[in-house]
Chains A and B, each alone.
Chain A
Amino acid sequence: MNKILTPLLLCACLMIAGCGTLSKVTELGTAAAVAAGAISTDQAQSINKSAQAVGKVFESITPEQEYYIGRTVAATILSQNKPFDNQATTEYLNTIGQYLALCSDRPETFGGYHFLIMDTDEINAFAAPGGLILVSRGMLKCCRTEEAVAAVLAHEIAHVVNNHGLQAISKSRLTSAATVLATESAKNLGGKELAELTKTFEDSISDITATMVNNGYSRQFETQADKGAVAILQRGGYDPRGLIAMLTEMSQHLKPGGKDFAKTHPDPKVRISDVQQMIGTAPAPAPAPARSQRFASVMKGV
């Protein structure tokens, strides 16, 4: 009887534990489990250690795990939005994006930064954790210059740098992941544990995609991403006013009640005023005809 009840009690303890109290509750739970003979002392030690390791919630997600989360987030979004197969534009986007990533505070991620165009007129862009960035044709149509394209990509890179996607994962997911991992510490996961961990993975992916596609990030995160974008653009030698130009164009195309940026992002007019303050009186770099030429030739097909 005890043997059945104790693991249930342990799970319940873990489920209700907030991140700050996780390790304490785990220790209490494992002590009870050892006392009841449900688990050995060695198992209890490994549970306690692993629980401490995930106590910091999203910070405990390793870059390797972030990579797998990001792949699945990107694949999930792409299952709703087919890729736009134009090699020249895709390469242009990756060149600007990978160049800007080097100018960010986090140029290196587990799998690197990669960019893809979604074949839709909706105005959208998503940054999956780890650096897989998806931008819609509708968004690119709001860009009249290379500076504007760079601004869109820099904003998405800043979301990756600041781990905004990972922070959308509900704390309870990582608590359940900890439970599964802790019980099978230092061993390969068995079928049941793998199924449980996959369930947690699926739930985490849902948390992120629901935030990115439906609810949007907090105003604070968007401001942080705009601020990051301005810094990245300036380090890359681009005029950060490209972000203002893009937002101005976007405000003319967003349809009220639309399912894209109209739903998930603050009003472009509000963002413009914030970005103007961030830039202040910073001098604009000299315009380059070569940039306008390559932009015009590559983007005509979008």
Chain B
Amino acid sequence: MQGNKLLWVVSGLLVSAAVAFGATATIMSVQVRKAEIRDTPSFLGKVTSGLAYGDKVTVGQPQGAWMRVTAAGQSGWIHSSALTTKNIVMKAGDGAQTSASSGEMALAGKGFNSDVESKFKANHKDIDFAPVDRMEKIKISTSALQKFAVTGGLKMSEGGAP
């Protein structure tokens, strides 16, 4: 009897938590420099539009690790690793007051940023960033990756965890 009561209380709490989470998690921010919206929940899906760091999206039903999103009238799918529930604020003052107290705010460009990197470079002239700049430019297109998999007889299933 005691156990049953406890079970009810716990499930009640879980339902409330789920409702609360659902109510607050509908808006998410892009946490990568460039995110792509696709027409299907897969990296093989066609890219229909792009979003930038800090852009807000309205999140609908997820499918696996993919989120159905709407942003600026465009709908499609984004992988959940490109999104955060934190409110990414692009400039100091933009909503900082309300969000900071919830611990869910991230101010873009704050902390370790390009200014800090420049200062580091000035302090360490022996460390050359050119090879890093070069390697960052190497981007293999999705179609090339797809061709690589097909010709190599690789059957792909995408990552699972959100």
A197 interface neighbour in B84, B111, B128, B154, Cβ under 8 Å: B111
What residues of B have a CB within 8 angstroms of the CB of A266 in the complex? none
Q: A108 to B82, Cβ gap below 8 A?
A: yes
Closest to A78 in B: B131
The stretch that binds A, out of B9-17, B18-26, B68-76, B143-151, is B143-151
Q: B32 to A68, Cβ gap below 8 A?
A: no
What residues of A have a CB within 8 angstroms of the CB of B123 in the complex? 198, 202
What residues of B have a CB within 8 angstroms of the CB of A62 in the complex? 31, 86, 88, 106, 111
Q: B156 to A235, Cβ gap below 8 A?
A: yes
Closest beta carbon of chain A to B156's beta carbon, Å: 6
A104 on the interface (CB 8 Å rule)? Answer: yes
Chain B residues within 8 Å of chain A by Cβ, number: 62
Q: B111 to A237, Cβ gap below 8 A?
A: no
What residues of B have a CB within 8 angstroms of the CB of A177 in the complex? 111-112
Contact with A along B29-62 (1 / 0, CB 8 A): 0011101000000010000000001000000000
B5 on the interface (CB 8 Å rule)? Answer: no
A102 interface neighbour in B31, B136, B145, B155, Cβ under 8 Å: B145
Q: A63 CA to B32 CA in the complex, in Å?
A: 7
Instruction: Known contacts A49-B101, A62-B31, A186-B92; decide if A103 and B159 are in contact (CB<8 Å).
Output: yes
B158 interface neighbour in A63, A72, A90, A102, Cβ under 8 Å: A102
What residues of A have a CB within 8 angstroms of the CB of B159 in the complex? 102-107, 232, 235
What residues of B have a CB within 8 angstroms of the CB of A99 in the complex? 140, 145, 148-149, 154, 156
Q: B131 to A75, Cβ gap below 8 A?
A: yes
Q: A91 CA to B145 CA in the complex, in Å?
A: 11
A194 interface neighbour in B53, B115, B129, B136, Cβ under 8 Å: B115
A181 on the interface (CB 8 Å rule)? Answer: yes
Instruction: Known contacts A111-B33, A187-B92; decide if A146 and B152 are in contact (CB<8 Å).
Output: yes
What residues of A have a CB within 8 angstroms of the CB of B103 in the complex? 52-53, 55
A86 on the interface (CB 8 Å rule)? Answer: no
Closest beta carbon of chain A to B92's beta carbon, Å: 4
A114 on the interface (CB 8 Å rule)? Answer: yes
The stretch that binds B, out of A8-16, A240-248, A252-260, A285-293, is A285-293
A181 interface neighbour in B79, B110, B136, B160, Cβ under 8 Å: B110
Q: A49 to B140, Cβ gap below 8 A?
A: no
Q: B119 to A72, Cβ gap below 8 A?
A: no
Q: B129 to A71, Cβ gap below 8 A?
A: yes
Q: B112 to A102, Cβ gap below 8 A?
A: no
A109 interface neighbour in B32, B93, B110, B158, Cβ under 8 Å: B32
What residues of B have a CB within 8 angstroms of the CB of A68 in the complex? 112-114, 116-117
B residues in contact (CB < 8 Å) with A: 31-33, 35, 43, 53, 65, 79, 81-82, 84, 86, 88, 92-93, 96, 100-101, 103, 105-117, 119-120, 123, 126-129, 131-132, 134-136, 138-140, 144-145, 148-149, 151-161
Known contacts A78-B128, A114-B138; 5 further A-B pairs (Cβ under 8 A): A79-B126, A105-B65, A112-B136, A198-B119, A202-B120
